[in-house]
Amino acid sequence: MDTSGAQEYDRMQELKAFDETKAGVKGLIDAELQKLPKIFVRPAEELAKDLNHKRAQIEVPVIDLGGMEKADRRQQIVEEVRLASETWGFFQVVNHGIPLNVLDEMIDGIQKFNEQDVQEKKKYYTRDNTRRVRFISNHDLFRSTTANWRDTLTISFSDPNQSDPKEIPGSCREAAVEYSKHVEKLGNILFEIFSVALGLDPGHLRNMDCSKGHRLHGHYYPACPEPELTLGIPKHTDAGFLTILLQNQSGLQIFFQNQWVDVQPIPGGLVINIGDLLQLVSNGKFRSNNHRVLADHLGPRISVACFFSGPLGMENISYGPIKELISEENPPLYKEVLLSDYVMKFLTSSLDENNLLNYFKA
């Protein structure tokens, strides 16, 4: 008797039952869950493979952005960013210009949203990607191998026509609007630095609309009863051009030189990482690197990822390797790709699938 269909059916039922609560992972904790439901437990072979990977004692580069108005200091910062982007695809920044109270209030706002009355949260629960504000647990819940231990509030600042602050939950409205302004400014500074690091004019990437619009993803990872069996976010690369991450607790890991490296939060610091589309337009010069988030007995871990993914509403815009970076010795590694096709591929894949860039190699 073939039981695979029955097992699959049971899993789908469990996924649907979890989704229909609209309470997310936090709802399981509120129900005083002691053991993980099967949908969250990673396959045995995956857990075994993890044991073979060493955890490195090396540190992700930390770059001080202070003093950029001085030409020699700016040149030094560009060089540090270039090196980190080519090797790690990740670095942390300090003295980035965003006040500490703005960072703290953003973390606090996400915590308040997740820890308010569940009926209030449910008003925002949706799998409709077109909604400006949406609360969800696992955007790829029905496509991934394993459900992950996190809930997410997404707020889009990509469409100027969708700019009514009243759409944003009151628990984090002021904090999100204020943080959005600051993080957009920092994003534009970073795109200038990236442009110069690639040997281009400072405004090159901005003129390509790489910094046009952004989305905040406020992730909430409650304390987990069996953290060794699951993950907060599985191994993946980021889909857009650039991610700026604010985090209040350790858990983020980068896969570097065949080992997992812990990214410890720095007070007032932000984690910066290269996305797939920046790897594509830089013709592989900058790296979009694999990373993940562990589950933990301690919690909640709260992070706010700001994704710069380009002008998502523009159907006909396409991206390929920047022509100034192409030569006979350095031919294009990737095809020209419609942004809408790339986004569709991301939305119909699971996070734990292989790197999306593989689909767009030349």
What is the β-pairing status of strands 242-247 and 301-308? Answer: antiparallel
- pLDDT for residue 346: 81
**CA–CA gap between residue 106 and residue 153 (Å, rounded):** 12
- pLDDT for residue 244: 98
Q: Please name the residue that has the structure tokens 């700016």.
A: 74
**CA–CA gap between residue 242 and residue 214 (Å, rounded):** 10
**CA–CA gap between residue 132 and residue 118 (Å, rounded):** 20
| CA dist 320 → 85, 208, 280, 330, 339 (Å) | 19, 11, 6, 14, 10
Q: What are phi and psi of 288, to 5 degrees?
A: -95, 105
Beta bridge partners of 307: 215, 243
Is 232 in contact with 294 (CB distance < 8 Å)? yes
Q: What are phi and psi of 17, to 5 degrees?
A: -60, -40
What is the β-pairing status of strands 337-338 and 259-262? Answer: unpaired
Pure H helices in the chain: 4-21, 24-30, 44-52, 71-87, 100-115, 118-122, 173-197, 204-207, 276-281, 339-347
Reduce the DSSP state of residue 356 to 3 states and report it: helix
**CA–CA gap between residue 88 and residue 270 (Å, rounded):** 15
Cα 160 → chain centroid:
22
Is 302 in contact with 270 (CB distance < 8 Å)? no
Q: What angle do CA 263, 266, 270 make, to 5 degrees?
A: 80
pLDDT tens track for 208-230: 999 998 999 999 999 999 999 99
- pLDDT for residue 349: 77
Class of domain 9-35+63-360: mainly beta
Is 46 in contact with 168 (CB distance < 8 Å)? no
Nearest by Cα to 312 from 238, 215, 181, 218: 215
pLDDT tens track for 159-195: 766 678 899 999 999 999 999 999 999 999 999 999 9
Q: What is the CA radius of gyration of the chain?
A: 20
- pLDDT for residue 353: 62
Amino acid identity of residue 9, one-letter, is: Y
- pLDDT for residue 3: 43
Q: What is the pLDDT along the chain (362 residues), one digit of tens a residue?
A: 344 444 555 899 999 999 999 999 999 999 998 999 999 999 999 999 887 766 777 899 999 999 999 999 999 999 999 999 999 999 999 999 999 999 999 999 999 999 999 999 999 999 998 899 999 999 999 999 999 999 999 999 987 666 788 999 999 999 999 999 999 999 999 999 999 999 999 999 999 999 998 999 999 999 999 999 999 999 999 989 999 999 999 999 999 998 999 999 999 999 999 999 999 999 999 999 999 999 999 989 999 999 999 987 776 899 999 999 999 999 999 999 998 888 888 877 777 665 788 888 98
Specify the pTM: 0.94
- pLDDT for residue 127: 95
Reduce the DSSP state of residue 197 to 3 states and report it: helix
**CA–CA gap between residue 109 and residue 105 (Å, rounded):** 6
